[in-house]
């Protein structure tokens, strides 16, 4: 009986210390987006627009990697856009999240969670990553501007 009590106390202590270590090291933390944009339309419109851009340009590949569950109850998708541009391979990791307050005013937050030039190893998953500004400019030029033009909408930085 005494051994079982000691074992139970040790087990509780190990679990408690494990939780402290887990929280201290921030193992489950999420990295903030590199940049966020406000898209005037639904997540479905965003996906449709990105698919249209990819189908009209063989150098752009678009893929939905996951459907996400958000507390807001709206749709959200994790997506990857790969671009072959001037002998370089660019990869953009996005999350499109519905932030509409009503069905008449559809709005989506585009979270750019990663922007990488895989050829030059520039960019990354933080706003201070080496070469990130150049990769962001290419995202604006190659993806956002054609998307806005094709769908006749505005895409603005999210503040």
Do 61 and 84 lie in a common domain? yes
Residue 72 has pLDDT above 80, yes or no: no
For residue 60, what pLDDT is reported?
94
**98 is in which domain, residue-wise?**
31-157
For residue 77, list its beta bridge partners.
Answer: 67, 96
Other beta carbons within 10 angstroms of residue 128's beta carbon come to 7
Residue 130 has pLDDT above 70, yes or no: yes
Residue 150 has pLDDT above 70, yes or no: yes
Give the span between the Cα atoms of 50 and 13, in whole angstroms. Answer: 51
Do 6 and 83 lie in a common domain? no
Residue 141 has pLDDT above 60, yes or no: yes
Confidence of residue 69 (pLDDT cuts 50, 70, 90): confident
For tokens 């402290």, the residue is 20
Q: Is the Cβ–Cβ distance between 39 and 49 less than 8 Å?
A: no
For residue 16, what pLDDT is reported?
80
Do 67 and 4 lie in a common domain? no
HEC secondary structure over the chain: CHHHHHHHHHHHHHHHHHHHHHHHHCCCCCCCCCEEEEECCCHHHHHHHHHHHHHHCCCEEEEEEEECCCCCCCCEEEEEEEEEECCEEEEEEEEEEECCCCCCCCCEEEEEEEEEECCCCEEECCCCCCCHHHHHHHHHHHHHHHHHHHHCCCEEECC
Do 72 and 101 lie in a common domain? yes
Do 25 and 87 lie in a common domain? no
User: What tens digit of pLDDT does each residue of 76-119 get?
Assistant: 899 999 999 889 999 999 999 988 777 668 889 999 999 999 99
Quote the pTM value: 0.78
Do 38 and 48 lie in a common domain? yes
Do 11 and 68 lie in a common domain? no
User: What tens digit of pLDDT does each residue of 26-66 get?
Assistant: 655 667 899 999 999 889 999 999 999 999 999 999 999 98
Do 21 and 61 lie in a common domain? no
Q: What's the CATH number where 112 sits?
A: 3.30.530
For residue 142, what pLDDT is reported?
93
Do 84 and 11 lie in a common domain? no
Do 14 and 49 lie in a common domain? no
Q: Please compute the mean of the pLDDT values over residues 10-29 and round it to a whole number.
A: 73
For tokens 């806005």, the residue is 148
Do 75 and 104 lie in a common domain? yes
For residue 140, what pLDDT is reported?
93
Reported for 5-11, long-range contacts at CB under 8 A and 24+ positions apart, including other chains, are none
Do 20 and 78 lie in a common domain? no
Residue 6 has pLDDT above 90, yes or no: no
Q: Please compute the mean of the pLDDT values over residues 5-14 and round it to a whole number.
A: 83
Based on the structure, what is the number of domains in the chain? 2
């Amino acid at each position: 009986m005494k051994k079982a009590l000691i074992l139970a106390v040790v087990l509780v202590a190990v679990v408690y210390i494990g939780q402290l270590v887990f929280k201290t090291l921030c193992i489950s933390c999420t990295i903030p987006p590199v940049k966020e944009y406000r898209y005037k339309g639904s997540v479905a419109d965003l996906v449709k627009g990105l698919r249209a851009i990819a189908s009209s340009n063989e150098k752009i590949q678009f893929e939905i990697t996951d459907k996400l569950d958000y507390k807001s109850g709206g749709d959200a998708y994790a997506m990857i856009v790969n671009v072959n541009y001037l002998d370089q391979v660019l990869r953009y990791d996005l999350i499109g999240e519905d932030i509409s307050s009503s069905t008449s005013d559809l709005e989506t937050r585009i979270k750019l969670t990663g922007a990488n030039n895989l050829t030059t190893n520039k960019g990354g998953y933080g706003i201070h990553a080496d070469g990130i500004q150049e990769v962001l400019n290419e995202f604006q030029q190659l993806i956002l501007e054609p998307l806005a033009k094709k769908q006749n909408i505005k895409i603005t930085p999210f503040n």
